[in-house]
A and B are shown apart, each in its own frame.
Chain A
Amino acid sequence: GAVVSQHPSWVICKSGTSVKIECRSLDFQATTMFWYRQFPKQSLMLMATSNEGSKATYEQGVEKDKFLINHASLTLSTLTVTSAHPEDSSFYICSAYPTRTRGDAGANVLTFGAGSRLTVL
């Protein structure tokens, strides 16, 4: 079935540095990917919609210059947390809709990566 891979799964960085998280669609192409943020014991909040070859669409309240999203190919979207601070520590999850899979098993079903745990010291 369709798989979304995220890397790294864990990252610790110093305050003021930038961190890049990758989201890859395996065995399928994804023109659109979604980035979520999850605080401890809370639900997922959509941060932005990543569009291949164009600018990302950010949800209200999400800082575009803080969370840089690049969707340079049909299988890769990246989220860069710039000048990270402790309050940026969170679990970041990406997702995508498989657009080409074998059969119909994955159609119209959002597939999630395993998430990336960011800790900013």
Chain B
Amino acid sequence: AQSVTQLDSHVSVSEGTPVLLRCNYSSSYSPSLFWYVQHPNKGLQLLLKYTSAATLVKGINGFEAEFKKSETSFHLTKPSAHMSDAAEYFCVVSRSGGYQKVTFGTGTKLQVIP
């Protein structure tokens, strides 16, 4: 069994300040973890993924996430928010290896204030 909890449904930051979107996971096996971004009325775009290699993962658009097994967390961060980062972010967990069914978190809406 697997599940993912996104601790904040909304996060608001000022442009140029750091972004932190929190995600905790639960998995009965070795997980793969992903962050996806969704802009309004659009599909999902992969930001980054963790698949049992380096625990600090760098993604696109300056985002990164750190896999912490002891804390069962995979928080998404960015040093400096841009207006274009305003979107919905989903943390996703699946079983490692092969083509597994994934489980979505409930999403975090990021608002960036000018």
- Which residues of A line the B interface, CB within 8 A? 4, 6, 32, 34, 41-46, 49, 91, 93, 95, 97, 99, 108-115, 117
Contacts and interface: CB of A to CB of B under 8 A. Distances in A.
A117 B41 CA distance: 8
A4 B42 CA distance: 13
Contacts, number: 49
B106 A109 contact: no
Interface of B: 32, 34, 36, 41-46, 49, 51, 90, 92, 94, 97-99, 101-102, 104-107, 109
A29 B78 CA distance: 34
B44 A112 contact: yes
Contact of B98 (A108, A113, A117): A108
B101 A43 contact: no
Contact of B42 (A42, A49, A115): A115
A43 B107 contact: yes
Contacts of B109: 41
7 contacts: A34-B101, A44-B44, A45-B104, A108-B51, A108-B99, A111-B46, A112-B36
A114 B42 CA distance: 5
A95 to B, nearest CB: 8
A94 B90 CA distance: 16
A93 B104 CA distance: 13
Contacts of A95: 44
A110 B35 CA distance: 11
Contacts of A109: 34, 46, 49
